[in-house]
Amino acid sequence: MNLEIIVVIILFFLSRFLFLATYPHFYDSPEYLKLAQENNLSIALQKSHESIHPIYLLLIQFANKFIPISFVSAFFGLLTFIGFYLLIKQVFNKQTAILSLIPLIFFPHLWLIQTNIMHESVDHFFLIFALLFFDYFLVNKKLINIIVSFVFILFALINFSGNFIWMPVFLGLFVFRKYKKQDDYSN
């Protein structure tokens, strides 16, 4: 790993993990905190509002026993950050990937969802890794990559059905790769 990526990851780490919310400030955060303290996942799912985020609820119930539940958002934000880097590096190049990370560190919406008790960070993780493995499949045609991509998509949709709105991005990546391959052959 080179110095640039280490510096960017340290910036991300400092900007998220030092600012974890100790109190639920936004949107549905108070409800999630209450549901995290529920001893039974089934009851928590029944008490949750529509739309239910079952994977997130499972994660925060488990995390609540050991760490502040806002850590779940920051941890999945970090994993997403790394996955995004790998995806952009695979599709474009290393320099573009590193430069693409910088706005993600300072984007206010991402900072809010990755330092508070919110499910979106987990959703982003599933979607970015689904795209990453889908791109691996497009490049190397290995069946395992499309299966892993499908599992991540499935988890994203189970956690929040609204993630379906991102499915055209997969088509866009497919089209991009198709034309990029044709362009590579013509050169």
Per-residue model confidence as pLDDT tens digits over 149-158: 999 999 999 9
Per-residue model confidence as pLDDT tens digits over 64-106: 999 999 999 999 999 999 999 999 999 999 999 999 998 989 8
Q: Which amino acid is at 91?
A: V
Q: 45: Cβ–Cβ under 8 A, 6 or more apart, which residues?
A: 52, 54, 57
- The C-alpha atoms of residue 109 and residue 96 are separated, in whole angstroms, by 22
Query: How confident is residue 187, by pLDDT bands cut at 50, 70 and 90?
Result: low
Q: Pick the residue with more confidence: 145 or 29?
A: 145
What average pLDDT is seen over the chain?
91
- The C-alpha atoms of residue 161 and residue 80 are separated, in whole angstroms, by 19
User: Which residue in the block uniquely carries the two structure tokens 């941890």?
Assistant: 75
Query: How confident is residue 23, by pLDDT bands cut at 50, 70 and 90?
Result: confident
Query: How confident is residue 8, by pLDDT bands cut at 50, 70 and 90?
Result: confident
| pLDDT(29) > 90 | no
Q: Pick the residue with more confidence: 43 or 136?
A: 136
Report CA 87 to chain centroid distance, whole Å: 12
Give the pLDDT of residue 51. 85
- The C-alpha atoms of residue 113 and residue 56 are separated, in whole angstroms, by 13
Copy the structure tokens of residue 119: 């499910």
User: Which residue in the block uniquely carries the two structure tokens 């952009």?
Assistant: 88
DSSP calls for the chain = --HHHHHHHHHHHHHHHTT--SS--STTHHHHHHHHT-S-HHHHHHHSPSSP-HHHHHHHHHHTTTS-THHHHHHHHHHHHHHHHHHHHHHT-HHHHHHHHHHHHH-HHHHHHHHSS-THHHHHHHHHHHHHHHHHHHHH--HHHHHHHHHHHHHHHHH-GGGGGGHHHHHHHHHHHHHHHHHHHH-
Query: How confident is residue 183, by pLDDT bands cut at 50, 70 and 90?
Result: low
Give the pLDDT of residue 1. 60
Give the pLDDT of residue 184. 63
- The C-alpha atoms of residue 103 and residue 85 are separated, in whole angstroms, by 12
Query: How confident is residue 186, by pLDDT bands cut at 50, 70 and 90?
Result: low
Nearest partner of 117 among 34, 43, 176, 51, judged by Cα: 34
Output the pTM of the full model: 0.90
